[in-house]
Amino acid sequence: MSLAYYPGCTLKTRARNLEQPAVASMEALGFKLNEVPRWNCCGAVYSLAEDDLIHQVAPVRNLIRAKKQGETELVTLCAFCLNTLKRANILMKEDIAKRDTINDFIDEEIDYAGEVKVVHLLEVLRDELGWEALSQKVKLPLRGLRVAPYYGCTLLRPREVAIDSVEDPTILREFLEALGASPVDFPESTRCCGSYQVISSPDDISGYARLILDSALSHGAETLVVTCPLCDYNLGRGQKELSKKSGFREMPLLYFTQLLALALGLGPQVCHFQLNHGSPELLLKEKTLIS
């Protein structure tokens, strides 16, 4: 089965360790991720100002490209891209006046009115494949690996784009269970990592990271699973700062797609662990999940 796929900028460079295990895993599961032709940056953050329509043009152009291909669904991997594309899509569906202005301005051959459904890869696994079917495809169960599921912000907020319950999300826990891992629930799983503040207030980031990581650690996690390249960066960067101080134990970070690829028996070669923070290979070797 073929799925229209929007990668976004970071997945082609810093976050190849998020994208490549996803592409390989989906193929092993019988899905082909087809990149939308001529995709452009979605803008990373959704514009929150009523009069700022120009920043809606970038995400809408991507949605138009998907529609032109005859697609009814667009899959994203990056949590930021999901949020921006999905919110722009809702705007085009529900706000007639703004939709007309944006369509007139863009002036492509076709108009757009929110026809393409924007989904995250985790939703495809849950809703189109199903956890039961996924668990049956697992060749190397991640037994004994204690993983804290970290959602961050953009998969769950605002409410209208949430891929799961805003207050008590379970999608990552269910995903980890299907792979045979041991999920470790912790109270800071939806707490913000500091996001784009890393460019203006970098000193605050280690404080945000510490709360999240200490909480995961104290609940018994050995690693944290992330879905967003900015969470990955901030939580990794924060650890580097914190490790200079005493009393902090570093924790490796993993993308959910890397765990998926490992469990499907695709091996470390598609995972690009060299791009991860905290050398997860040591932990994975200890658990005999890689050699």
The verdict on 208 binding other proteins (CB under 8 A) reads: yes
Q: What CA–CA distance (Å, rounded) separates 13 from 87?
A: 25
102 φ/ψ angles, rounded to the nearest 5 degrees:
-65, -45
Residues 116-155 that bind other proteins (CB under 8 A): 153
| H, E, C per residue of the chain | CEEEEECCCHHHCCCHHHHHHHHHHHHHCCCEEEECCCCCCCCCCCCCCCCCCHHHHHHHHHHHHHHHCCCCEEEECCHHHHHHHHHHHHHHHHCHHHHHHHHHHHCCCCCCCCCCEEEEHHHHHHHHHCHHHHHHHCCCCCCCCEEEECCCCCCCCCHHHCCCCCCCCCHHHHHHHHCCCEECCCCCCCCCCCHHHHHCCHHHHHHHHHHHHHHHHHCCCCEEEECCHHHHHHHHHHHHHHCCCCCCCCCCEEEHHHHHHHHCCCCHHHCCHHHCCCCHHHHHHHCCCCC
Among 6, 31, 39, 80, binds other proteins (CB under 8 A): 80
Q: Which is nearer to other proteins, 102 or 263 (CB)?
A: 102
Which of 16, 53, 55, 57 is close enough to bind other proteins by CB under 8 A?
A: 55
Q: Which stretch binds other proteins (CB under 8 A): 2-10, 25-33, 107-115, 168-176?
A: 2-10
Closest separation in Å from C-beta 211 to other proteins: 8
Shortest spacing between CB 234 and other proteins, in angstroms: 8
User: Which of 117, 157, 210, 287 lies at the binding interface for other proteins (CB under 8 A)?
Assistant: 157
Give the residue, chosen from 8, 114, 252, 280, that forms a contact with other proteins under the rule CB under 8 A.
Answer: 8
From 37-45, 214-222, 258-266, 281-289, give the range in contact with other proteins by CB under 8 A: 37-45
For residue 1, count other CB atoms closer than 10 A to its CB.
Answer: 10
Residue pair 277/252 in contact (Cβ under 8 Å)? The answer is yes
Segment contacting other proteins by CB under 8 A, of 120-128, 157-165, 216-224, 241-249 = 157-165
Nearer to other proteins, 181 or 230 (CB): 230
**Among 3, 28, 45, 113, which residue interacts with other proteins (rule: CB under 8 A)?**
45
Out of 35, 127, 204, 286, name the contact with other proteins by CB under 8 A: 204
Examine residue 183 and tell whether it contacts other proteins (CB under 8 A).
no
Window 227-286: residues binding other proteins (CB under 8 A): 228-230, 232-233, 237
Q: What is the Cα–Cα distance from 158 to 263, expressed in whole angstroms? A: 32
Binding window for other proteins (CB under 8 A); candidates: 48-56, 106-114, 124-132, 168-176: 48-56
Q: Establish if 180 lies at the interface with other proteins (CB under 8 A).
A: no
Q: Which residues bind other proteins (CB under 8 A)?
A: 8-10, 13-15, 41, 43-45, 47-52, 55, 78, 80, 153, 156-159, 166, 191-192, 194-202, 204, 207-208, 211, 228-230, 232-233, 237
